[in-house]
């Protein structure tokens, strides 16, 4: 099976998992629309060329070129990525900083990270994988403190209490006023 076909199957598997997770928390439109830009030529070609199945093809392109054209395209079109919400601080020295994300996009980001861990870890997936991946990478994130706190809380919750309890919490406490 060629790399383009395998990449397409990976995208579809990931989107199916995110859709299922989003539906469980009541984010139906976001579940349906999640990551549609991955089918665009700029993203799909990179994914097919650098496909490995165990990590994002964007990481491979980034190592080869020094940047990822697919990631730059993707993050600018998908509000569930913290990088979408980076802007200049209007106070102080106007440094780049993370803007507070609406709860619905933090919830979708949580679903996305859960699904990505399941796709890339396969049968080795554990409910601690999403928080471990986050903790491994968080030192370089530019993210609003409240957004980080909510995402970390949800990732820890799924590791400690499981998906069912975390999805119920998101529906009941996180999204109750954000639909």
* Ranges of each domain in the chain: 3-174
Look at residue 95 in the predicted model and tell me its pLDDT. Answer: 93
Instruction: Give the mean model confidence (pLDDT) for residues 147-158.
Output: 98
Share of the chain above pLDDT 90, in %: 90
Q: Taking all residues of the chain, what is their mean pLDDT, rounded to a whole number?
A: 95
Instruction: Give the mean model confidence (pLDDT) for residues 128-151.
Output: 95
38-74 pLDDT, tens per residue? 999 999 999 999 998 778 899 999 999 999 999 999 9
pTM: 0.94
pLDDT at 179 over 80: no
Instruction: Give the mean model confidence (pLDDT) for residues 105-117.
Output: 97
pLDDT band at residue 83 using 50, 70 and 90 as cut-offs: very high
Look at residue 7 in the predicted model and tell me its pLDDT. Answer: 94
78-82, Cβ contacts within 8 angstroms, sequence gap of 24 or more:
78/34, 78/35, 78/37, 79/105, 79/108, 80/30, 80/34, 80/105, 80/108, 80/109, 80/111, 80/112, 81/109, 82/109, 82/141, 82/142, 82/143, 82/147, 82/151
């Amino acid at each position: 099976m060629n790399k383009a076909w395998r990449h397409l199957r990976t995208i579809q598997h990931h989107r199916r998992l995110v859709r299922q997770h989003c539906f469980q928390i009541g984010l139906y439109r976001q579940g349906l629309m999640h990551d549609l830009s991955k089918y665009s030529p700029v993203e799909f070609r990179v994914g097919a060329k650098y496909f490995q199945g165990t990590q994002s093809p964007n990481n491979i392109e980034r190592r080869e070129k020094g940047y990822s054209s697919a990631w730059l395209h993707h993050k600018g079109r998908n509000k569930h990525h913290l990088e979408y919400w980076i802007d200049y601080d209007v106070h102080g020295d106007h440094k780049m900083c993370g803007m507070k994300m609406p709860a619905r996009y933090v919830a979708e980001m949580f679903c996305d990270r859960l699904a990505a861990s399941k796709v890339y870890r396969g049968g080795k997936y554990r409910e601690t994988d999403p928080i471990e991946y986050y903790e491994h990478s968080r030192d370089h994130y530019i993210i609003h403190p409240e957004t980080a706190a909510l995402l970390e809380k949800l990732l820890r919750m799924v590791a400690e209490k499981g998906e069912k309890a975390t999805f119920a919490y998101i529906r009941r406490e996180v999204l109750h006023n954000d639909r």
